[in-house]
Amino acid sequence: MKGDRPPKQLEMCGTERIACIDPQAEPKQTVDMGLGLFATSKIRPGANVFAITANFATVLDTPRLKDTCSNCFVTVGDEVNPGLTLKACTGCRVVKYCNERCQTESWAASHKKECSIYRKCHPNILPMHARAVLSMISEPDNRILKGMYRTHHTAVDTLGDHFTEMMELAGEQIERVLTSAEGLKEISNTDVGLPRLVRYFTMLETNAFTLTNRYFDRIGLCMLPFASYANHSCEPNAYIGFDGPVIYLKALQDIALDEQIFISYIDNTEPWGKRQSELQKRYFFTCKCPKCAQGQAAREDQYLNAEGPPTSAPEKVAWDIVAMPERPGLTPNALIVQDLAALTMLQSTGCFPITRQPYPHVHDDFIVQLLEAKRYRSAFLPTLIRYLHMDPVLYPSRYHPIRKRNTWALAKLVRCINDRTVHDRSPPTTNYDNFGDHFPWIYYSLLCELVEIYDDSLGLQNLLKLQLREISDELERHGIDFSTANERRLNKILIDNAWKDVKSMVDRQLSKLVAMGGKEGNIYD
């Protein structure tokens, strides 16, 4: 993905939105991967490798333009920012901002030159990739911003574009690139030549990152050249994330001085064949990482027996569901039935591990649909199974963003179940009748865990600390003492006992799942 030379300098920045440290990586030439990022010091798990303002070509998915600020990327409805409102740009009516400061910053960075083009297209909206390239060719007038912009462009010239490979395939990808470049050239009337526009569009295909919110949900696209130097491994030692307008790289594990820093470009929990296929199709290379070197002998490809399932039909049904995440026209309850049927089919093979894809994908969607249907108590068991038995296998590092996000989801669910004012539409169950006294301790312990590891976003970290203080105060009102070492030791015993009972319940249900083999009903109602 990379070219031959790094830029001479980088614009690293501090920000009030994230704890930013000096960059602990530099680009170097590798033997067989082009440029890569290498650690310039020892890096501890959870530490920042770098944090850079994502002010070059960062744009929102079209649906997110309605509810997300186009400068700092806060979203309406986020509990970190309750009461947030947005105002549309009065010129184009396309992008929205949460305050005057964000509007001013965006105008200075690129929107001054984008606005009239957006207005020309309205009520239609330029596709996301076209908006990203338009940002790339819109040089700011501000002297400082112009310097940063040109630094990024210097780095852009070191990136590969894979145009030749796309042309050889002659598929939908290159057709989309050529059509998009021609369309942007016409609508923008830019002086930038068509070949360079084509190059920028091809770069986005292989070098851009998925822009995410603080919960690692997709909201758009980000092109930041220096970050693109990070090479891929299906066993990464770092991950990319965002805190509003800041892109950061964090370590998943200890990284030694001069060790290459890897991220995963794809979902690295999927079987070897699917990983290789996606990397070839989208990024044009064959992965030779330690996990891929094991081929089908790696955990991701293993069944519970040597033979595997007698038929591929159950797995195909589940993958078809994964391939259609939206499934329009179906209610959450209908999607619950569909997901549960797919899980049951996989269970019925008698050899499908709950940690082999696509089981975790469907299981995740099953939880989402239960929450959408306000069936909170029904969601408790599958969310616990994910927390206790799936995520530690899929994401061994406790700092992995998906594992942290899922832990936060469990904490919120426990809080919801323990709130008597919340209307729950779950069918009756006796699974949790004896857990009443345990819920506050489970919630407390999850928040303690999250405060320790979930520091990707300062706003979310502050919210977690506030909620930990609130549950601590509530426990103190009920006679719990946190003031002495002996009392804290006794509290630890109560927490351990709560988790012991929860784990026993989960293990009983999982044993029942194995015994039933998906043939006698399900364990979730």
Task: Provide the token pair at 308.
Answer: 């595997």
pLDDT for 436 equals 82
Q: Which amino acid would we find at residue 414?
A: V
- pLDDT per residue over 193-215, tens digit each? 999 999 999 999 999 999 999 99
Interatomic CA distance for residues 471 and 304, integer angstroms? 42
Note the pLDDT of residue 16: 36
Dist. CA 388–CA 383, nearest whole Å = 9
Q: CA torsion sign, 164 to 165 to 168 to 169?
A: negative
The pLDDT value given to residue 356: 97
Look-up of token digits 């919801």: 416
What is the per-residue pLDDT across 61-120, written as a single tens digit (0 to 9) for each?
999 999 999 999 999 999 898 999 999 999 999 999 999 999 999 999 999 999 999 999
Whether pLDDT at 2 is above 70: no
Instruction: Please report, as a single letter, which amino acid is at residue 90.
Output: T
CA dist 338 and 330 (Å) reads: 10
pLDDT digits (tens, 9 = 90+) for 496-520: 999 999 999 999 999 887 665 555 4
Coil, strand or helix at 341: helix
Query: What would the two tokens of residue 177 be?
Result: 């690139």
Sheet holding 260-263, edge to edge: 25-29, 35-39, 260-263, 231-232
Taking the C-alpha atoms of residue 512 and residue 242, their distance in angstroms, rounded to an integer, is 41
- 330 in Cβ contact with 366 (< 8 Å): no
With a cut of 80, say whether residue 329 has pLDDT above it.
yes
Q: How high does pLDDT run on average in the chain? A: 91
Nearest to 312 by CA among 361, 349, 354, 360: 349
Closest to 256 measured CA to CA, from 31, 40, 501, 484: 40
Q: In whole angstroms, what is the distance from residue 323 CA to residue 317 CA?
A: 10
Look at residue 424 in the predicted model and tell me its pLDDT: 93
The model carries a pTM of 0.91
Q: Are 48 and 10 in contact (CB under 8 A)?
A: no
Q: Is the CB of residue 247 less than 8 Å from the CB of residue 209?
A: yes
| Range picked from 159-163, 272-276, 331-335, 423-427 for highest mean pLDDT | 272-276
**Of the candidates 2, 4, 23, which has an alpha carbon nearest to the alpha carbon of residue 12?**
23
User: CA 232, 233, 239 angle in degrees (round to 5)?
Assistant: 75
Please enumerate in sequence order all residues whose Cβ is within 8 A of that of 325, keeping only pairs 6 or more positions apart, or say none: 365
Tokens of 173: 């990808």
DSSP 217-252: -EEEEEE-TTGGGPEE-SS-SEEEEEETTEEEEEES
DSSP 8: S
pLDDT tens-digit readout, 217-271: 999 999 999 999 999 999 999 999 999 999 999 999 999 999 999 999 999 999 9
How confident is the model at residue 513, as a pLDDT?
Answer: 76
The encoded tokens of residue 127 equal 């596709």
**Other Cβ atoms within 10 Å of 101 Cβ, number:** 11
pLDDT digits (tens, 9 = 90+) for 6-57: 443 443 333 333 334 468 999 999 999 989 999 999 999 999 999 998 889 9
CA diameter of the chain = 73
- For the stretch 422-452, pLDDT in tens is 999 999 877 777 788 899 999 999 999 999 9
What is the rounded CA–CA span in Å between residue 276 and residue 271? Answer: 9
The DSSP symbol for 297 reads: G
H/E element, 415: helix 401-417
- In 3D space, the residue among 524, 228, 157, 209 whose CA is nearest the CA of residue 376 turns out to be 524
Res. 522: pLDDT tops 80: no
For residue 73, how many C-alpha atoms fall within 13 Å in the half-sphere facing its CB? 28
First to last CA, the chain: 48
Query: Which residue pairs, CB below 8 angstroms and at least 24 apart, start in 185-188?
Result: 187/117, 187/120, 187/121, 187/126, 188/117, 188/134, 188/137
Q: Is the peptide bond before 123 cis (omega within 30 degrees of 0)?
A: yes
